[in-house]
Copies of this chain bind each other. A is one copy, B any other.
Amino acid sequence: MVTRGRTDGTRPVAADGVPDAVGEDATGGEGSAAPVSVLRPVRAGNGFEETLEQVLQLLRLGLVPPGDRLPAERELAQHLGVSRVTLREVLKVLQDQGMVESRRGRYGGTFVLPRAAAADGSDELRRRVAAVDVEDTLRFREVLETGAAGLCADGLADGGAARLRAALEATQGARLEDYRRRDTLLHLTLAELSGSRSLAAQYASVRATLNELLDCIPLLVRNLEHSQQQHAAVVEAVLDRDAEAAREMMREHCAGTAALLRGFLA
């Protein structure tokens, strides 16, 4: 795993026992234990895996709904900063999994298949879910969501209010099978309107993970109705510029999902 412990006990600078990352000395003494713990592997796997991650995110967020076409390979590859060859390897896998379908010729492309077909058989996807740190995901999500709601309430950019209302309405008219997608888009909109690109990007990432978890548990209509009310309340608070209320409502909303997931996955 990550916190590498060093097999032979020789260590030049103290640090016995538990190497907590930021464990610190007092007065300027040396002896930071394991400063490296904040380091993120520059390459979290190889190009293939990272690309797969990104494309899956696109699908899981519902940004490209079933039936729709992904951007052309050349374009997508450029966006991802990856060669077309590498991207094609990823698409090949997704095709084998029955998640997408490629059609040649003009007006062809790579199309997203409805989720049913995916059949979940894949080891790849199962291992993926198993590897998720649920607690991390839920906590981080709550932080980002409440933060985004607060920032939005502090001031929306031009057109923000309209986009928010539109996204909210879209969820209200959604059929059950489309609800998850609309819900995701509403939250993504909020994150985007927060005015912090970093926040939006992180939310997209964590939300993709969250959706993966949510796919593992049943969708209850009652929770859904409750969610709807909370969505409306959050949006209302944001439009009223009541940051405190927006945060509080959002926190409650997230807590609901979190409780549900903890219950089912624990």
Which residues of A pack against B, CB within 8 Å?
A: 1-2, 4, 6, 9-16, 18, 20-28, 30, 32, 35-36, 38-51, 54, 57-58, 61, 63-65, 67-69, 71, 75-76, 78-82, 89, 92-93, 107, 131, 133, 135-137, 139-140, 142-144, 146-148, 150-151, 159, 163, 166-167, 169-170, 173, 178, 182, 185, 188-189, 192, 194-202, 204-206
Distance from A65 Cβ to chain B, minimum over Cβ atoms (Å): 7
Contacts beyond the supplied A4-B78, A40-B205, A140-B198: 17 A-B pairs with Cβ under 8 Å? A4-B48, A4-B49, A6-B45, A6-B46, A12-B41, A22-B163, A22-B185, A22-B188, A27-B173, A32-B68, A36-B58, A36-B71, A38-B57, A137-B198, A143-B151, A146-B147, A198-B202
Chain B proximity of A203: nearest CB distance (Å): 9
Q: Are A82 and B42 in contact (CB under 8 A)?
A: yes
Q: List 5 A-B contacts (CB under 8 A).
A: A18-B200, A22-B189, A38-B61, A39-B58, A136-B199
* 4 A-B pairs with the lowest CB-CB distances in the bound complex, closest first: A143-B147, A41-B81, A35-B63, A18-B201
A42 touches B23 (CB 8 A): no
Q: Is the CB of A21 within 8 A of B81?
A: no
CA of A6 to CA of B50, assembled, Å: 13
A43 to B44, CA, bound (A): 10
